[in-house]
Amino acid sequence: MEFLVDMVTTVPDGTSEEAIAEIRGREAAHSRELAAQGSLLRLWRPPLEPGEWRTWGLFSAPDRQHLEQVLASMPLRVWRHDTVTPLSPHPNDPASSGESGGSSATATTR
């Protein structure tokens, strides 16, 4: 199953640049590991407001519980708010094998 995750990171006031750089480095390394495992499929950077950290990610997981474990393992999760949308194939998707997906719903996690 695939999930679109809107990840908005809010760094607490007073956090040192050193701490931010350290956790961002760990996040990048862990994201590469998740990609190698097949859990993280794509990342996009939408248009941002000044001071905003936002990323859209396409994740693959057998179910919502497994996805939550993947998201919880990401270092930036301590500062991040995630909105998860389960994705189903569109009947006219050119990449689809013709299988029909389930319903789509949006949920928010923290």
What's the pLDDT at 108?
Answer: 54
Which of 62, 10, 57 is closest to 31 using CA atoms?
57
Domain ranges of the chain: 2-109
Is the pLDDT higher at 39 or at 109?
Answer: 39
Has this prediction a pTM greater than 0.85?
A: no
Q: How many residues does the chain have?
A: 110
Q: How confident is the model at residue 110 (pLDDT cuts 50, 70, 90)?
A: low
Q: What is the mean pLDDT of residues 11-35?
A: 95
Q: What is the mean pLDDT of residues 10-16?
A: 92
pLDDT tens sequence across 55-85: 999 999 999 999 999 999 999 999 999 999 9
Q: Could you tell me if 12 and 79 are in contact, meaning their C-beta atoms sit under 8 angstroms apart?
A: yes
Which of 3.30.70.100, 3.30.479.30, 3.30.70.1060, 1.20.1300.10 would CATH assign to domain 2-109? 3.30.70.1060
Q: Find the DSSP H helices in 1-97.
A: 17-37, 64-72
